[in-house]
């Protein structure tokens, strides 16, 4: 877990602190599948800007996730540029105005990065944009073996209705 001590940063309103560091990234479970960040530590840029009423935190990095394709279950890799912002109002009593990533004087960068990655994910992670998926009849990967089945297997539950259709 990577965290940043806010005690080392003493800023007045209008000042900014910028630091390059490495963030430890954890695996992400998405849609029942596990996606691993490669490498596990990503170079990132942290910016802390002091405003009159609070502090603005910025985090930027690029992550590459490896895991199964949504359609064919083959290997998929996804590269995401991440830019996240959080605001901490020190004077407000409202929890909505405070970031959950600051606990005491520590900024939890790993958890913030994980949540930012989850928000940036597409609906489906694919091995390639035109992934054909798997055959619903035999289960073969249609990217490797494109084919169609000539014989149509009807659903036996509809047999009675098909018999009525054939009579008329």
Nearest to 90 by CA among 46, 57, 47: 57
Q: Tell me the pLDDT band of 142, cut-offs 50, 70 and 90.
A: very high
Nearest to 76 by CA among 140, 31, 139, 135: 31
* 3-class secondary-structure state, position 128: coil
Domain extent listing, the chain: 3-131, 132-168
Tell me which residue has tokens 């939890």.
108
Q: Is 29 left (phi over 0), alpha (psi -120 to 50) or beta?
A: beta
pLDDT digits (tens, 9 = 90+) for 111-132: 999 999 999 999 999 999 999 9
42 burial (CB, 10 Å; 0-12 / 13-18 / 19+) is: buried
Q: Is the pLDDT of residue 37 over 90?
A: yes
Instruction: For the full predicted model, state whether its pTM sits above 0.85.
Output: no
Res 54: pLDDT: 87
Q: Is the pLDDT of residue 152 over 70?
A: no
Res 150: pLDDT: 77
Res 130: pLDDT: 94
In the chain the first and final C-alpha atoms are separated, in Å, by: 70
Res 136: pLDDT: 86
Highest mean pLDDT among 5-14, 68-77, 83-92, 150-159: 68-77
Q: Is the pLDDT of residue 25 over 80?
A: yes
Mean pLDDT over residues 28-36, rounded?
Answer: 91
Res 32: pLDDT: 87
Mean pLDDT over residues 150-163, rounded?
Answer: 78
Res 108: pLDDT: 95
């Amino acid at each position: 877990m990577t965290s940043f001590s806010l005690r080392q940063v003493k800023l007045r309103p209008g000042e900014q602190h910028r630091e390059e560091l490495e963030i430890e990234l954890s695996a992400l479970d998405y849609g029942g599948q596990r996606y691993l960040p490669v490498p596990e530590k990503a170079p990132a840029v942290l910016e802390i800007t002091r405003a009159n009423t609070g502090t603005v935190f910025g985090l930027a990095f690029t992550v590459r996730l490896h895991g199964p394709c949504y359609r064919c279950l083959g290997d998929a890799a996804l590269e995401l540029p991440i830019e996240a912002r959080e605001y901490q109002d020190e004077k407000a009593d409202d929890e909505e105005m405070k970031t959950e990533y600051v606990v005491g004087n520590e900024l939890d960068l790993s958890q913030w990065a994980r949540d930012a990655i989850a928000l940036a994910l597409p609906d489906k992670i694919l091995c390639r944009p035109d992934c054909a998926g798997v055959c619903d009849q035999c289960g073969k990967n249609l990217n490797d073996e494109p084919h169609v089945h000539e014989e149509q297997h009807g659903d036996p539950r509809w047999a009675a209705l098909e018999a009525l259709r054939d009579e008329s």
